[in-house]
Amino acid sequence: MTTTTSTPGIPAQAGAPAPPSLADTAPKLLSLIAGYVGHRTVAMGLRAGLLRQLADRPGGSPDDLADALGLDPVYVAVWCRAAFGAGVLERTGGGYRLADHMATLLLDDGSPAFVGGVFGVCEAPEMFGRFEASLASGERMWWEDTSPDWIAAVAGTGTPFYTRLVPGGLERVPGLAERLTAGCTVVDTACGSGVGAIRLATTYPRCAVVGVDGDAHSIDRARDRVAAAGVDDRVTLVHSALEDMAVEDVALDEPAALVVNNISMHECRDIDRVTENVRAVLEPGGWFVISDFPFPDTDEGLRSVPGRIMSGIQFFEAQIDDQLLPRAAYDDLLGRHGFTDLGTAQLTPMHALTWGRRT
Ligand SMILES: C[S@@+](CC[C@H](N)C(=O)[O-])C[C@H]1O[C@@H](n2cnc3c(N)ncnc32)[C@H](O)[C@@H]1O
């Protein structure tokens, strides 16, 4: 964007573009307000089951929807109009249906395109409410200070990252897929509620999987999930900060062939120590794959839609005393710890992989 400065009474430099008019500028703010309305509408529709009901019974009228869900028909009609305005619903005679692909994007948590989880994250008090309340004090927190609802919402956001990573993303890493199919030990560092550990164990039935996380509540949730998925014979869960992760704590019978980290590397207090610990648990030639948000490193990127969403995530990250990192920071990290065969893949505008092999 070109900017010009002008002082009242002194004409702008000849040839400089005219500054935008008030009428040009107002729509920027109005589109922010419209986005907020759309966001609240979608989040409400997810929580109240309105979107799920319309996916299961397309064409329902607001009265049908209200009846089925035990909601007020006038309020449901208001919601339907707003969701139509946001482009989330289409009209069908007297009723509504989900617009094309909305069921996948908003409701199918098994899809690599799922974004439904992000709405819950953005509305949670941990994201903006607590940030604003702490704006003067700058008081920080850690994962144990967050609510179970927050941990569940984060798992919903992390799930499509794992879906893209396993197996598609890992197949982009030369030589890795064969090793995983043959069977080996895999460590998911900062495994959270266990979604990735289960995905790894079910996708690679010959592999043993270790999940490590520093948050006790997340490890408890992971234990429940792993047991429910019936893979507890091949998944070991360890409660430990990654900065303290030692080979013996991770209880490996053999060095790991693969260590992954999904949307968490930027959170580590000491990423150099963590990378050293990852090196120590890897076999020679073993891979470290970092799957993370690539925070924009240009002004243009920051003003893109993905950049603006990632800027939103930074409100939470700041409160736990970190920030998302530009992807290239991981090239530097792996390089300074002697990893070789570095590679990268952009899976979506908000998801990139960086990998390297232990020498
Ligand atoms: C954004 S969540 C992601 C969890 C999971 N990987 C996923 O994608 O759903 C970040 C997780 O990293 C964990 N974490 C962050 N820093 C950590 C550290 N230094 N040591 C261990 N766990 C850490 C947190 O406890 C939390 O469970």
Q: Per-residue confidence at 13, pLDDT binned at 50, 70, 90?
A: low
Region(s) of the chain under CATH 1.10.10.10 = 27-107
Q: Residue 228 above 60 pLDDT?
A: yes
Region(s) of the chain under CATH 3.40.50.150 = 168-298+324-357
Interstrand relation of 256-262 and 282-292 (parallel, antiparallel or unpaired):
parallel
pLDDT, one tens digit per residue, over 88-103 is: 999 999 999 999 999 9
**Mean pLDDT within 67-74:** 98
pLDDT at position 2 is 37
Alpha-carbon distance of 122 to 314, in angstroms, equals 11
Q: 39 C-alpha vs ligand 1 centroid, how far in Å? A: 26
**Higher pLDDT pick, 290 / 9:** 290
Any idea which architecture 27-107 has in CATH? Answer: Orthogonal Bundle (1.10)
Q: Report residue 131 CA to chain centroid gap.
A: 19
**Which residue is closest in CA terms to ligand 1's atom 4?**
192
Q: 298 C-alpha vs ligand 1 centroid, how far in Å? A: 27
**Mean pLDDT within 108-120:** 97
Q: 182 C-alpha vs ligand 1 centroid, how far in Å? A: 28
Q: 320 C-alpha vs ligand 1 centroid, how far in Å? A: 11
Alpha-carbon distance of 234 to 208, in angstroms, equals 5
Any idea which architecture 168-298+324-357 has in CATH? Answer: 3-Layer(aba) Sandwich (3.40)
Q: Is the CB of 161 under 6 A from ligand 1?
A: yes
Report the DSSP beta bridge partners of residue 60: none
Structure tokens of 346?
């952009």
Q: Which residue has the tokens 């702008």?
A: 12
Q: 83 C-alpha vs ligand 1 centroid, how far in Å? A: 34
**Which residue is closest in CA terms to ligand 1's atom 27?**
192
Contact 215, 144 (CB under 8 A): yes
Query: What separation in angstroms does the CA of 26 have from each of 23, 202, 312?
Result: 6, 51, 22
pLDDT, one tens digit per residue, over 166-224 is: 999 999 999 999 999 999 999 999 999 999 999 999 999 999 999 999 999 999 999 99
Q: Is the CB of 243 under 6 A from ligand 1?
A: yes
pLDDT, one tens digit per residue, over 292-303 is: 999 999 999 999
Q: Is the CB of 48 under 6 A from ligand 1?
A: no
Nearest atom within ligand 1 for CA of residue 161: 8
pLDDT at position 15 is 76
pLDDT at position 6 is 45
Q: 340 C-alpha vs ligand 1 centroid, how far in Å? A: 25
Q: 261 C-alpha vs ligand 1 centroid, how far in Å? A: 9
Q: Per-residue confidence at 43, pLDDT binned at 50, 70, 90?
A: very high
Mean model confidence pLDDT for the chain? 95
**Which residue is closest in CA terms to ligand 1's atom 5?**
192
Q: 219 C-alpha vs ligand 1 centroid, how far in Å? A: 10
pLDDT at position 251 is 66
pLDDT at position 7 is 45
Alpha-carbon distance of 62 to 263, in angstroms, equals 39
Q: Report residue 335 CA to chain centroid gap.
A: 25
For the chain, give the secondary structure using H, E and C: CCCCCCCCCCCCCCCCCCCCCHHHHHHHHHHHHHHHHHHHHHHHHHHCCHHHHHHHCCCCCHHHHHHHHCCCHHHHHHHHHHHHHCCCEEEECCEEEECCCHHHHHHCCCCCCCCHHHHHHHHCCCCCHHHHHCCCCCCCCCHHHCCHHHHHHHHHHHHHHHHHHHHHHHHCCCCHHHHHHHCCEEEEECCCCCHHHHHHHHHCCCCEEEEEECCHHHHHHHHHHHHHCCCCCCEEEEECCHHHCCCCCCCCCCCEEEEEEECCHHHCCCHHHHHHHHHHHEEEEEEEEEEECCCCCCHHHHCCHHHHHHHHHHHHHHHCCCCCCCCHHHHHHHHHCCCEEEEEEEEECCEEEEEEECC
**Which residue is closest in CA terms to ligand 1's atom 7?**
158
Q: Per-residue confidence at 27, pLDDT binned at 50, 70, 90?
A: very high
Q: 191 C-alpha vs ligand 1 centroid, how far in Å? A: 6
Choose the residue to mutate in 121, 213, 314 for probing ligand 1, maximizing ligand atoms within 8 Å of C-beta. 213
Alpha-carbon distance of 290 to 275, in angstroms, equals 11
Q: Which residue has the tokens 């920051």?
A: 302
State the pTM of this model. 0.93
Q: Residue 8 above 90 pLDDT?
A: no
Contact 330, 341 (CB under 8 A): no
Choose the residue to mutate in 267, 271, 273 for probing ligand 1, maximizing ligand atoms within 8 Å of C-beta. 267
Q: Residue 81 above 50 pLDDT?
A: yes
pLDDT at position 187 is 97
Q: Residue 226 above 90 pLDDT?
A: yes
Q: 342 C-alpha vs ligand 1 centroid, how far in Å? A: 23
**Which residue is closest in CA terms to ligand 1's atom 12?**
190
pLDDT at position 248 is 84
Q: Is the CB of 316 under 6 A from ligand 1?
A: no
Q: Is the CB of 273 under 6 A from ligand 1?
A: no
Q: Per-residue confidence at 14, pLDDT binned at 50, 70, 90?
A: low
Q: 88 C-alpha vs ligand 1 centroid, how far in Å? A: 32
Nearest atom within ligand 1 for CA of residue 274: 19
Structure tokens of 329?
């920071």
